Amino acid sequence: MKMIKEFAGKTVLVVGIAKSGYAAASLLHKLGAHVIVNDKVKLDGNLLAQQLAATGMEVVCGSHPLELLERDVAMIVKNPGIPYTNPIVAEAVRRNLPVVTEVELAYLVSEAPFVGITGSNGKTTTTTLLFEMLREGQKQPLIAGNIGTVACEVAQEATADNVIVTELSSFQLMGIQAFHPHIAILLNLFEAHLDYHGTKEEYGRAKAQLFTNQTPNDYSVVNADDADVMRLAERSHGRLVLFSTRQSLPDGACIQDGALYFRGERVMALEEIALPGQHNLENILAAMSAAKLLGVSNEAIAAVLRTFTGVKHRLQYIGTVEQRKFYNDSKATNILATQKALSAFTQPVILLAGGLDRGNEFDDLLPYLGHVKALVTFGQTAPKLMRTAAEAGIKTIKRVDTLEQAVPEAYALSDEGDVILLSPACASWDQFKTFEDRGDMFIQAVHKLV
């Protein structure tokens, strides 16, 4: 870890604790900053705030008082989930105070280079795949960000011999200034998080922050099949490395003659790949591109792809009950993810969907519902999903209050050979803290059927 001096003696305000705020405050304290930690949850019962206070940090809980900005604050580190419309954040921006997320701190102290991975869908799968390829190739990777450990904790342990593979959200990328990945991967762009960003254009602008500080010595790995991604990639000063499932790319990654190719070199046959789903080929090509750029052999890449079957909560096979197969795709927090999940199956599907209402309709699901024989819906978006299902001609549509109720209902509606798929097409925050909690609840409910 680089023991940088730029925060020594300066006042830094950390807004929002959770995992990232706790890690950021602890690191800044170590670097000699005067840290003020501010969280909307009251101190009583706020275990993380109590732990930070016990180290001597100043902790202000219960609200976000604007008076904190009068304390000669040099910088604000905010939790990614706190929007810029939050009064204290908005006022900080108005005063031209730097507002960053903890991944910025991670970059500043890291001795290791970064690979940054973003996109509307496939981030976790691509991040995990690349990590496994690098590990198989003896490249000493570390994994951080939305998957694994908070980036600024990982960065403290990293050396120049490591490479930090980081999954990054648009929320995190809005809060960077110097962050500079040696390899930036942009997978796709779909209309998502509009409750936070307002428009797809603003959402895309946040994603494109990944390219901001790249130089001609860096690489930008981008999806040649996504027109929005290609437009955003024009902002990059890195060397473009394209991947495509549809086109032949002699200088990039593509599919030819039933095999994966990188820069004209055959890597492995498609039939050897264990990970299901046509959509995962994009994730595979992106991860393979970065792995090859970092010197991983074809043999190491193939060894991973022959055994890797997916990550938890992303088309995760749970098991078979009375010849019905159950899949957990709780990480499908938007429509595109659910489209891809439905495209992975040809057999009849009982779809479990619903969650936080972000204001969108679900018409874009219509072309993918042809083999859905029943919908079981829950959460705030249930009425909208019911309308879409009716328009699609789905004859059996059931609404329940909770996911726990949805599982036995779906089982009762199913026949042998059916797939019972949780792919909500919505964020989880109306009923769950995280999509992981939602997926775990689904798994538990499935196990109760046995």
> What are the CA-CA distances from residue 116 to residues 104, 168, 170, 225, 298 (Å)?
12, 7, 12, 20, 22
Q: Is 212 annotated as a binding residue?
A: no
Q: Is 137 annotated as a binding residue?
A: no
Q: Is 124 annotated as a binding residue?
A: yes
- Residue pair 347/323 in contact (Cβ under 8 Å)? The answer is no
Q: Is 215 annotated as a binding residue?
A: no
Burial 175-187 (b: 16+ CB within 10 A, else e): bbeebbbbbbbbb
Q: Is 120 annotated as a binding residue?
A: yes
- Residue pair 178/107 in contact (Cβ under 8 Å)? The answer is yes
C-alpha span between 277 and 341 (Å, rounded):
8
> What are the CA-CA distances from residue 98 to residues 92, 94, 150, 399 (Å)?
8, 10, 21, 46
Q: Look at strands 419-422 and 349-353 and give their pairing.
A: parallel
Handedness of CA 437, 443, 449, 450 (dihedral sign): negative
Q: Is 244 annotated as a binding residue?
A: no
User: What DSSP state is assigned to residue 271?
Assistant: G
The angle at the Cα of 266, spanning 263 to 267, to the nearest 5 degrees, equals 100
Q: Is 125 annotated as a binding residue?
A: yes
* Residues of each annotated binding site for ATP: 119-125
* Residues of each annotated binding site: 119-125
